[in-house]
Amino acid sequence: MSTQYFPIHWNKQKKYYDLIALAFIVIYLASYSIFSAITFPEDQQFSSIVILIRAFGSCSLILLHIILLIGPLARLNSIFAVLLYNRRHLGVMTAIISLFHGALVTFFYHSFGSINPFLSLLTSSSEYTSFTSFPFEVFGLLALLILFVLASISHDFWQKNLGRDIWKSIHMAIYFVYALVIFHVALGVMQSEQDFIYVWIIGAGITLVTSAHIFTFFKERAKDKKIFDQKENWLQVANVNDFIINKAKMIKAANKERIAVFKHEKGFSAVTDLCAHQGGPLSEGKVVDGCITCPWHGWQYRPEDGQSPPPFKEKVATYKTKIENNIVYVFYKPEGEGVYINPASFDKENLTSNCSKNK
């Protein structure tokens, strides 16, 4: 993260991420093209453009599945959080690969007639009442347009100016894109292929994505059902010895607010579990250089006041904490965003916190 907006803000980790993603794309496209050329049926006319169309199309479909799986996997196991960190770059790559697919299709199938290629694409079939002859190209075109809108507003500039909730709501359209792509691919396969292996592959992809989301939903729902005991508006969290230094325990108040209670060098502090950036789970992060660090994109906040270290301005709500009989309690109601609260601790010594590192 930076105090200024850049078209692309790379750091060492993002460079590695993008290089690995690009290597996967290049290797896949090359492997698919070579394998298809070798195994191309002898009774059919060989076409390198058709192979490229299928290579780019299948590559974008695989990338879309990976993008949709990263979120649930990161919720199920923190080891996948590294994939979530730069998922937006993967989304932009998917949009570009999809554009190559669409451009090749338009050029090869619709640019050699007297009709405008785009008009030809939309009017080549009017069998909207036929399942086997439905113009599947319409689904692909609509998916591509939405995908490019999402890619164009994926930058933090838009997230900041639209607001976290509106920005995230718009990006939920990726699931609509997925549905359009599945219809596009499924109808296209049914109209051009006789081998049911493609149907099985599409079905496996749908099952994998759906199962991951359903499993994650019920896991998160189980967390939400666990409302901790209240004692005069104080929530009992855990014994002080059950905490790991620089880690948190997440609790849920009766008002359904999730609270992250951290043990750090100054004592015990509590903040809302939602990161100000994209609502990432702060309780799944850790304290780094004296700052709570979100596991999704590395945004940081001081445990005592929920404020980002200077020169950053972001802040999250803080909660009062206390210790009674070795039990850590947190007040059910937040004090407000960026409000300083003394950490609950046996040790009264106020240690210096190093919280100057950039997010």
Question: Over pLDDT 90: what percentage of the chain?
Answer: 43
User: Does the structure show a pLDDT above 50 at 359?
Assistant: no
User: Does the structure show a pLDDT above 90 at 208?
Assistant: yes
User: Does the structure show a pLDDT above 60 at 357?
Assistant: no
**Each residue of 12-30: pLDDT tens digit?**
777 888 899 999 999 999 9
pLDDT of residue 9: 59
Q: Report the pLDDT averaged over residues 237-245.
A: 91
What does the domain layout of the chain look like in residue ranges? 12-224, 230-337
pLDDT of residue 348: 44
Burial (CB count <10 Å: 0-12, 13-18, 19+), residue 225: exposed
Burial (CB count <10 Å: 0-12, 13-18, 19+), residue 231: exposed
Query: Sign of torsion, CA 129 132 135 136?
Result: positive
CA distances from 196 to 12, 162, 172, 305 (A): 44, 45, 31, 59
**Each residue of 297-315: pLDDT tens digit?**
888 999 999 999 988 888 9
pLDDT of residue 205: 93
CA dihedral 26, 29, 34, 37 (to 10 degrees): -160
Superfamily name with CATH number, domain 230-337? Rieske [2Fe-2S] iron-sulphur domain (2.102.10.10)
23, amino acid identity: A
The answer to whether 293 touches 300, Cβ cutoff 8 Å, is yes
Q: Report the pLDDT averaged over residues 270-284.
A: 89
User: Does the structure show a pLDDT above 80 at 4?
Assistant: no
The answer to whether 339 touches 306, Cβ cutoff 8 Å, is yes
Sequence length of the chain is 359
pLDDT of residue 231: 56
For the chain, what is the mean pLDDT?
Answer: 84
Q: Report the pLDDT averaged over residues 202-221.
A: 90
**Each residue of 135-182: pLDDT tens digit?**
888 999 999 999 999 998 887 777 777 877 888 889 899 999 999 999
Structure-model confidence comparison of residues 51 and 82, the more confident one: 51
**Each residue of 95-148: pLDDT tens digit?**
999 999 999 998 888 777 778 777 877 777 777 777 667 888 899 999 999 999
Q: Report the pLDDT averaged over residues 179-203.
A: 83
User: Which tokens go with 184?
Assistant: 């596009």
How many CB atoms within 10 Å of residue 14?
A: 14
Q: What is the pTM of this model?
A: 0.73
Q: CA 209, CA 72: separation in Å to the nearest integer? A: 9
